[in-house]
Amino acid sequence: MALYRPTIWLSLLLLLLTAPVSAQNEMEGVRIWPSPTNTRVVFDLTQAPQYSYFTLKNPTRLVVDLADTDKSFDFGKLKNDSDLVKKIRYSTPKDQQSVRVVLELNESADTQIFSLPPTPPYGDRLVIDLGSRSKTPPQIVKQRAQGANRDIIIAVDAGHGGEDPGSIGRAGSYEKNVVLSIAKRLAERIDKTPGMKSVLIRTGDYYVDLNRRTELARRSKADLLISIHADAYTTPQPSGASVWVLSMRRANSELGRWLESTEKHSQLLGGAAEVIQDTSSERYLTQALLDMSMDHSLSTSYELSRDILGEMGQITKLHKKVPQAASLAVLTSPDIPSILVETGFISNPREEKNLNWATFRQNMADAIFGGIEKHFKRRPPDGTLWAKLKRENRTHKVSRGESLSLLAQRYNVPVSRIKAANNLNTDMVRIGQVLTIPN
């Protein structure tokens, strides 16, 4: 008996070692988010993934091995609208506890793979970003030649998108859908206006990296970047729209980052960057140019925010009646005036209902456009059609205490020319009178 017992235990041990062990991780779902230039594939998992990958050619494939994972998802039911991803399927795994997933691609792609921790409403994820090498970003506006009466370019950014739903209302509304609808309506208003042109940063339900949003606006030579969002809070009581600009603390920090990158200098300064070398003696000149650009962007953003708040206040409650400052990544471009519009609190049941109402969305788009129009009529960018029209048709509404001599000094135009342009026989003007100011 003394010799028999060890034999039993040895047999049991061998049985345990050779028996199949169930995998710890499970694939709960797979989502494909196509965009005009890239596709994101997201694997929803019950635990943080352990993975490795490699690529194959002829045909082009991306092979991903997930360790200790069940083969539980049916790829045959997967919705796929991507032009880049042809098919996703299983293949022979490395071992019994792992799973091998093959992404068949229609062309070679730049690949980034990373895991994400749980973030409501999602759990652990494995993300695969596939960038097309044959497509260029859409909506890039070709500017007219220098000296021509170009359009005012306005980049309209709908926040969030794709796997990032943004805030979720109590009735289940997704911020990403609401703001995309408003952004498209705003872009339509802009494009119907002579002398203006819109650029939609995202045109569908896909995610665009925050730094990429400002890059797309810059590539389009935008005169303004406006990001559309819907606010949220932990309780349903807060309500109202607001407009946000970049805080100076974040602006100064971003300025330092810009100085560290020669490539960003080139993008920002254009031809000037070619003669500014990144040396200690010339960094001060670069700093001065960036400072001036940032000062202009911040002041323009603040003025424009006030105009938009004035228009939005006529159609909805304002959460804050003056522009607010915050450290928001989409506002950090030194060379493009940038603002973020919160169209209301999607966490407030009444405002969530409004945000899902087509008429309110249109009214909101019209109000935002009204503020933009008011601002650029007052301060059109140099070289634009609007700047030319303002020079040719300058007008001034007389306020209390103003006189012809004061207006002549302000606009650097002789009193006689103002009188002639307005058929005036006297130097007297009245409050509220609209005068044409000649060049």
pLDDT in tens, 351-360: 999 999 999 9
Would 274 be classed as within a structural domain? yes
CATH code where residue 348 lies: 3.40.630.40
- Pairwise CA distance, residues 195 & 156, whole Å: 16
What is the pLDDT at residue 24?
86
Of 132, 166, 181, the one marking the end of a domain is 132
d(CA 131, CA 37): 6
pLDDT at 256: 35
For residue 67, what pLDDT is reported? 95
The domain that holds 89 is classified in CATH as: 2.60.40.3500
Q: Which of 198, 246, 202 is nearest to 224 (CA)?
A: 198
> Are residues 199 and 344 both part of a single domain?
yes
CATH number, domain at 426?
Answer: 3.10.350.10
Question: Containing H/E element for 258?
Answer: helix 248-259
- Give the amino acid at 423: N
In the numeric block, which tokens belong to residue 295?
Answer: 């000062």
Are residues 335 and 410 located together in one domain of the fold? no
β-strands 124-132, 109-116 pairing: antiparallel
Q: Are residues 373 and 425 in the same domain?
A: no
Co-location of 337 and 413 in the same domain = no
Please give the mean pLDDT across all residues of the chain: 82
- Look at residue 266 and tell me if it is in a domain: yes
Q: What is the pLDDT of residue 5?
A: 55
Tell me which residues of the chain have a pLDDT lower than 70. 1-23, 136-148, 248-294
The per-residue b/e assignment along 355-383, b for 16 or more CB within 10 angstroms, e otherwise, is: bbeeebbbbbbbbbbbbbbbbbeeebbeb
**Residue 234 confidence (pLDDT):** 80
Q: State how far the alpha carbon of 312 is from the alpha carbons of 328, 353, 355, 373, 409, in Å.
A: 21, 17, 14, 13, 35
The number of distinct structural domains making up the chain is 3
Q: Is the domain of 187 the same as that of 103? A: no
Q: Does the residue 385 lie in any domain?
A: no
Q: Is residue 127 part of a domain?
A: yes
| 181 in the same domain as 107 | no
From CA 322, how far away is CA 305, in angstroms rounded?
A: 8
Q: Are 353 and 239 in contact (CB under 8 A)?
A: no
* pTM exceeds cut of 0.85: no
- Greatest Cα pair distance, the chain, in angstroms, is 131
- Please give the pLDDT value at position 267: 33
Does residue 16 form part of some domain?
no
Task: Show the domain range for 405.
Answer: 393-437
